[in-house]
Chain A
Amino acid sequence: MKDAPQSEGQSAPKSQFALLGAASPDRSYGLPLAVLAELTHRCPLQCPYCSNPIQLERASRELSTEDWCRAMDQMADLGVLQIHFSGGEPCIRKDLEDLVAHATKVGLYPNLITSGVMMDRERMMRLADLGLAHVQISIQGARAGTSDRIGGFKNALPKKFETAAWVKEAGLALTINAVMHRQNLDELPEIVDIAVQMRAERIEVANVQYYGWALKNREALMPTIAQLKETTAFVEAARARLQGILSIDYVIPDYYAKRPKQCMGGWGRQFFNISPSGNVLPCHAAETITGLKFDNIREHSLEWIWHNSDAMSCFRGTGWMPEPCRSCPLKEVDFGGCRCQAFALAGRADATDPACEKSPLHASVFETAMAESTHGHDRLIYRNFSGTKEAPLPQKD
């Protein structure tokens, strides 16, 4: 999913590089514009909707500094323009400075996607001097109780405020990533106020996408239809009120959508993801589709992988589509939506995305969402290496 970067922990599947969607005459896909570099799965936070796979990679399997630098050389040659350093928490990597410096050296635009709880002022200034351009800080909730409970980390908010202030002091661009769900949607107006207070240029309001950890916690996360309506109205009004102050990107929840999202700008069309151990994925959630074979940067060049990897090409273009997608006039608008979602809900990665109203599963998915959002429990399983720890239940006020 996601057509480029992602909020830390969750990605927003927007099409942000629409201007550059052009394919070369002899191919149905273009050159990759952006890469999500997941440096590590280690993270001090434990957000229950994390976009990392359930099977987290251990530190011992992570790529070395040299592996990443070689990959960045190849990205630049291939036409990649932006690199998003993400995780896990990318600040855990002691070589983050070396990686940002190398990205700058080869002409990539470096973006850091972080929880903001591990930064210090000196490091931020150093990263800025080495060419870092943009920082995205996640917010789990506007109130301390929500923030601590959802992230599974105490006193995160004051640290995020500090980090945001350093980003602005360094003259870098700041985006707030707000992953929204039933248990924090009511705090969205306060989260938007926080983004303005932090002097962010952008906020990504992304409803949770249900794969991996989020699918495991779906019942506790699914928003109600009333929340969705209220949120959409709020976002429209806030966009008008904050024009020229804060840009708001908004992703509605798939289960309540009529049309599927144009996931990643189309499978293998302009984006790829590198996992901590070097697997190249068409999107960060692609490992949830069992049976796909991924190629690794330790064995092949990125150019070879982009053009030849089975995982990269199997859902490229429109040739793989079943009916009703194949004869749908919108097939080159949404490129068939999200394959990970089709796999999660229909059991087949080449099925019509159930987010589409033309899918035979659309009505039942909508009903599941309605039922889970109104009758579901609030128990959340934290994302961590054990995968069994439960979050405390919310305090009712």
Chain B
Amino acid sequence: MSERITLTEAMVVRLKRSSRLRFDKARGIHTLLVPERVVVLNESSVMIIEALDGRSIGAILDDFAVKFTAPREVIAADLLKMLQDFTDKGYLDITP
């Protein structure tokens, strides 16, 4: 039986083929379409998802810390919380 994955900075996460980022024109909101759910995304969540391009979580954090001139550990807490939640819900593919 498989086990729950706890994310670390060395891991690479990507959207699963079944998780689709979509701008909803009718309502003017960004969404992540997943099985039986529509997840409404704010601007920072959209940026995080768009950064899932094959880089490790750590590399994305390095990039964001420079780009947003914010403390890396503050960004890391938010980003890992969101990605762990999406991982638990099965929205992401993870490469160790």
Interface pair A81/B38, CB less than 8 Å apart = yes
CA A13 to CA B59, docked complex, whole Å: 42
CB 8 Å contact bits of A114-135 with B (1 = contact, 0 = none): 0000000000000010000110
Q: Which of B26-34, B45-53, B63-71, B72-80 contacts A (4 or more CB under 8 A)?
A: B26-34
Q: For residue B1, which residues in chain A have a CB less than 8 angstroms away from its CB? A: 196-197, 245
Interface pair A20/B38, CB less than 8 Å apart = yes
In this assembly, does A247 line the interface, its C-beta being within 8 Å of a C-beta of chain B?
yes
Interface pair B18/A133, CB less than 8 Å apart = yes
Neighbour of B38 across the interface among A19, A78, A173, A175, CB < 8 A = A19
Interface pair A82/B18, CB less than 8 Å apart = no
CA A107 to CA B23, docked complex, whole Å: 10
Given contacts A244-B5, A245-B2, contact A81 B18 (CB under 8 A): no
Interface pair A107/B22, CB less than 8 Å apart = yes
Interface pair B17/A247, CB less than 8 Å apart = no
Interface pair A202/B36, CB less than 8 Å apart = yes
CA A247 to CA B4, docked complex, whole Å: 12
Q: For residue A249, which residues in chain B have a CB less than 8 angstroms away from its CB? A: 36
A136, closest chain B residue (CB): B35
Given contacts A17-B38, A173-B90, contact A82 B17 (CB under 8 A): no
Interface pair B39/A175, CB less than 8 Å apart = no
CA A16 to CA B19, docked complex, whole Å: 16
B84, closest chain A residue (CB): A244
Interface pair A173/B18, CB less than 8 Å apart = yes
Q: For residue A277, which residues in chain B have a CB less than 8 angstroms away from its CB? A: none
Interface pair B35/A244, CB less than 8 Å apart = no
Interface pair A31/B16, CB less than 8 Å apart = no
A204, closest chain B residue (CB): B36
Interface pair A16/B37, CB less than 8 Å apart = yes
Q: For residue B24, which residues in chain A have a CB less than 8 angstroms away from its CB? A: 79, 81
In this assembly, does A251 line the interface, its C-beta being within 8 Å of a C-beta of chain B?
no
CA A173 to CA B22, docked complex, whole Å: 17
Interface size on A, residues (CB 8 A): 34
CA A288 to CA B47, docked complex, whole Å: 47
CA A133 to CA B19, docked complex, whole Å: 8
In this assembly, does B88 line the interface, its C-beta being within 8 Å of a C-beta of chain A?
yes
B39 CB to closest chain A CB (Å) equals: 7
Give A175-194 interface residues, CB cut-off 8 Å to B: 175
Q: For residue B37, which residues in chain A have a CB less than 8 angstroms away from its CB? A: 16-17, 19
In this assembly, does B20 line the interface, its C-beta being within 8 Å of a C-beta of chain A?
yes
CA A202 to CA B89, docked complex, whole Å: 8
B17, closest chain A residue (CB): A171
In this assembly, does B10 line the interface, its C-beta being within 8 Å of a C-beta of chain A?
no
B25, closest chain A residue (CB): A79
Interface pair B16/A33, CB less than 8 Å apart = no
Q: For residue B43, which residues in chain A have a CB less than 8 angstroms away from its CB? A: none
Q: For residue B19, which residues in chain A have a CB less than 8 angstroms away from its CB? A: 173
CA A128 to CA B38, docked complex, whole Å: 20
Give A87-142 interface residues, CB cut-off 8 Å to B: 107, 109, 111, 128, 133-134
A170, closest chain B residue (CB): B17
A31, closest chain B residue (CB): B26
CA A202 to CA B16, docked complex, whole Å: 15
Interface pair B90/A79, CB less than 8 Å apart = no
B39, closest chain A residue (CB): A19
Given contacts A79-B26, A133-B17, A173-B34, contact A245 B40 (CB under 8 A): no
Interface pair A133/B88, CB less than 8 Å apart = no
A109 CB to closest chain B CB (Å) equals: 4
B3, closest chain A residue (CB): A245
Looking at B3, B22, B33, B87, the one whose CB has the most chain A CB atoms below 10 A away is B33
Neighbour of A4 across the interface among B17, B27, B36, B90, CB < 8 A = B36
CA A29 to CA B24, docked complex, whole Å: 18
Give A1-27 interface residues, CB cut-off 8 Å to B: 4-5, 16-17, 19-20
CA A134 to CA B18, docked complex, whole Å: 6
In this assembly, does A395 line the interface, its C-beta being within 8 Å of a C-beta of chain B?
no
| Top 6 A-B pairs, shortest CB-CB distance | A244-B4, A79-B26, A201-B90, A173-B18, A171-B17, A109-B33
Q: A19-B37, A81-B38, A171-B16 given; name 8 further pairs at CB < 8 Å.
A: A5-B36, A33-B38, A109-B20, A170-B17, A171-B17, A243-B4, A244-B3, A245-B2
Chain A residues within 8 Å of B, Cβ to Cβ: 4-5, 16-17, 19-20, 31, 33, 77-79, 81-82, 107, 109, 111, 128, 133-134, 170-173, 175, 196-197, 199, 201-202, 243-245, 247, 249
Q: Sample 7 A-B pairs with CB under 8 A, ordered by A number.
A: A31-B27, A79-B24, A82-B36, A133-B33, A172-B18, A201-B90, A245-B2
